[in-house]
Amino acid sequence: MDLANRNVVYLGGFGGIGQQCVQELLQKQLKSLAIFDLMENDKILSTWQQNYPQTDIFYHKVDITKKSNIEAAYKATSEHLNGHIDVVVNGMGLMNDRHIELTIEINLLGVIHSTLTALEYMSKPKGGQGGLIVNISSVAGLQPTPLMAIYSAAKTGVTTFTRAMANPFYFSHSGVGFITICPGFTNTALLDDIDNKTTFTYRTPMHDIFPMVKRQNANDCARNLIKSIEEGHNGDVLMLELGEITKVDIPEMWKPQLEQ
Ligand SMILES: NC(=O)c1ccc[n+]([C@@H]2O[C@H](COP(=O)([O-])OP(=O)(O)OC[C@H]3O[C@@H](n4cnc5c(N)ncnc54)[C@H](O)[C@@H]3O)[C@@H](O)[C@H]2O)c1
């Protein structure tokens, strides 16, 4: 998708990966960029507004655990734009297995509610013009990650939910495509203070391996995420690891056997 003149909504736009993605997006001559996040970073927002006056950049407070917040933000954005939303990036997240419900609420339920609400505005039968929804999963959403079993479960849910949304029948009905993004370890605050975020409190060899895992910079991840939006196709599952994009082919594990 050519991003020039598009209306984009980015959830988690003030986060480590989010800020870098917004920075990349703003170089694409967007028409507008709505940032949904838990807290406003007015300093960064006003810098972006000053540096990119051709793009209408605005913020909506959204606590992704609150469905009413999500619905209000999309409604206000649609009214503000007086037009359609072309691209949504569900890029918020939390990695802390000591908070089980919150981990599921932010990483999985948040993506589901944001996606279904966005479809109300983007889907062609609802008066939208179609577009693209990009859900940020993780390598932990491809491979079980025992150190963070709850986070891994939530992210696996994101991968499967997004792949299901990319069903070709849904795509031809709504005109909205879906891409799953699975970053590898990326240098942001999400990876800080890991010893207090693991599923269990007792020490394992995985605790010692964690700090040794190679990490990419958030700007490399962001550059590849924007490239994925520009070049990706409906149903793609793309791993963004150490500055590379790899298309992941997940095998079909089961087919329904039909009564004759
Ligand atoms: N950093 C990594 O190594 C890594 C690896 C794979 C996937 N990811 C995923 O990438 C995405 C961005 O992560 P990051 O590393 O930039 O983390 P980050 O902690 O820097 O940013 C997280 C963002 O989510 C927002 N957020 C958290 N709780 C929220 C809530 N209740 N409502 C609304 N927004 C909320 C935060 O305000 C922040 O903007 C997440 O989905 C994360 O799971 C990160």
Residues 88 and 213: their CA atoms lie apart, in Å, by 30
CA-190 nearest atom, ligand 1: 19
Q: Find the 251 Cα to ligand 1 centroid distance in Å.
A: 28
Output the CA 27–ligand 1 centroid distance in Å: 22
Please give the structure tokens belonging to residue 256: 């329904």
CA of 15 to the centre of ligand 1 (A): 6
Overall fold of domain 7-247: Rossmann fold (3.40.50)
Residues with beta carbon inside 6 Å of ligand 1? 12, 14-18, 37-38, 62-65, 91-95, 106, 136, 138, 183, 185-186, 188-191
Q: How would you label 111-132 residue by residue, b for 16+ Cβ within 10 Å and e otherwise?
A: bbbbbebbbebbbeeeebeebb
Sequence ranges of the domains in the chain: 7-247
Element (H, E) at 136: strand 131-136
Helix (H, G, I), strand (E, B) or coil at 203: coil
Mean pLDDT of the chain: 98
pLDDT by residue (tens digit) across 161-208? 999 999 999 999 999 999 999 999 999 999 999 999 999 999 999 999
**Ligand 1: which of 9, 24, 35, 38 to mutate, judged by most atoms within 8 Å of the beta carbon?**
38
Cα separation, 228 vs 236, in Å, equals 9
CA of 125 to the centre of ligand 1 (A): 32
Catalytic, 151? Answer yes
- Kindly indicate the confidence band of residue 256, based on its pLDDT and cuts at 50, 70 and 90: very high
- Residue range 38-57: average pLDDT? 98
Cα–Cα separations (whole angstroms), residue 104 to 13, 64, 208: 20, 11, 26
What is the per-residue pLDDT for 253?
95
Q: State mean pLDDT over 132-153.
A: 98
pLDDT at residue 82 is higher than 90: no
| Strand ranges (E), 150-232 | 176-183
What pLDDT shows up at residue 83? 81
Confidence (pLDDT) at 260: 86
